Amino acid sequence: MTTNLSVNINKIATLRNSRGENNPDVEKVAVDCEAFGADGITVHPRPDERHIKRDDVFRLRPLVKTEFNIEGYPSPEFIDLVMKVKPEQVTLVPDNPDQLTSSSGWDVEANFDFLCDVVDRFRDAGIRTSIFVGTDPDNIRAAARAGADRVELYTKPYADGFDRDPEAAVAPFVEASRAAHRAGLGVNAGHDLNLQNLKFFHDRVPFLNEVSIGHALISDALYLGLHETIRRYKECLA
């Protein structure tokens, strides 16, 4: 099956915001990413707007022609934004408002009723919903019972263990993806995937619909250029 590459452009907005002007241009970068081969654009608008701002999300909506994925904690403000923008996909993450970056997946059972309510709202609006999780099969099955369309596997543990023992690092993700597939879920993955570890992950993990990559890809683009960087990431998914 084909695995899509969704480019997270948050770090472009972080760089722009550091000067308070419009350089680099987040909208142009999103359009260029698609032109260079990206299969989707991901944004994670946080409450403090330290990178992607709410206005960015509204401006990007008519520009993104592939797949628009909005990720974030489903606060009332986030839910309102998603319902107004109507992206193709929303990814629910359990981040605190002041969290630097995502550091774990949901405990779905402990938040089951809450997640069910959120997923129901997005489903009724025709928005595909993915729940950010670790590799525990029971937790993944709970995400299916909550009504999610997909799970996104939190891949930092894989990235951390890759250099030491790649087979051992990827094994839980192989089983998690199989568990998700058996439960009727699509499978996304993201966090700390890069040009060194992505191909191995892709070749080992079955049923992988999409990877979402931001920090590493944008960092590589500083050296390789955005066009060449996206080409190389797509090559890892070939």
Q: How crowded is residue 161: how many other Cβ atoms within 10 Å of its Cβ?
A: 17
The residues carrying an active-site annotation are 44, 71, 191
**0.85 exceeded by pTM:** yes
Which pLDDT belongs to residue 104?
A: 72
Per-residue pLDDT tens digits for 29-78: 999 999 999 999 999 999 999 999 999 999 999 999 999 999 999 999 99
| Confidence check: pLDDT of 103 > 80 | no
Tokens 């142009």 -> residue: 28
Tokens of residue 103, six digits: 């550091």
Cβ atoms of residues 213 and 197 within 8 Å: no
Alpha helix (H) residue ranges in the chain = 10-17, 26-35, 54-60, 76-85, 112-124, 137-145, 156-162, 166-182, 198-204, 215-224, 226-236
Q: How far apart are the first and last CA of the chain?
A: 10
Which pLDDT belongs to residue 49?
A: 94
Distance of CA 90 to the CA centre of its chain: 9
Query: Predicted confidence band at 99 (pLDDT cuts at 50, 70, 90)?
Result: low
Query: Predicted confidence band at 207 (pLDDT cuts at 50, 70, 90)?
Result: very high
pLDDT exceeding 70 applies to what percent of the chain? Answer: 97
Per-residue pLDDT tens digits for 10-23: 999 999 999 999 99
Query: Predicted confidence band at 138 (pLDDT cuts at 50, 70, 90)?
Result: very high
| Confidence check: pLDDT of 100 > 60 | no
Which pLDDT belongs to residue 95?
A: 74
Measured CA to CA in angstroms, residue 223 lies from 11, 51, 126, 193, 197 at distances of: 15, 22, 39, 17, 18
